[in-house]
Amino acid sequence: MSQKILMVCLGNICRSPLAEGILRHRLDAMGRDDVLVDSAGTSAYHVGEPPDPRSMAVAERHGIDIRGLRARQLTAEDGNQFDWILVMDDQNLASA
């Protein structure tokens, strides 16, 4: 992989999995298989849970399937593993 990108929000069930799905979808459309995209939450509230049904519905309306994603918590190792970490808001940036 030439690039690794991590999307981060609070619980990793709404914004960051949707952002992950959108970016993966766009990269697939461009034929880019050299970019790894993942997502995580700053909290452990929803670890192991699927995305929120509202996020899945938004993704589905745009032909994107995020049903297989599962929430995970951001780790210290993520800071070393990813080239880019995109945080969805200032509060979670402070927590990251």
CATH of domain 3-95: 3.40.50.2300
Report CA dihedral (45, 6, 86, 70) to the nearest 10 degrees.
-30
Domain boundaries, the chain: 3-95
Residue partners of 46: CB distance under 8 A and separation at least 6: 11, 12, 13, 71
* pLDDT for position 96: 76
Nearest-CA neighbor of 73 among 10, 2, 3?
10
* pLDDT for position 93: 82
- Tens of pLDDT, residue by residue over 40-80, are 999 999 999 999 999 999 999 999 999 999 999 999 999 99
- CA distances from residue 15 to 32, 34, 49, 71 in whole angstroms, order as listed: 23, 23, 14, 11
1 pLDDT more than 80: no
- Tens of pLDDT, residue by residue over 27-43, are 999 999 999 999 999 99
Residue 57 sits at the vertex; the CA angle it makes with 61 and 94, to the nearest 5 degrees, is 115
- Binned at pLDDT 50, 70 and 90, residue 14 comes out as very high
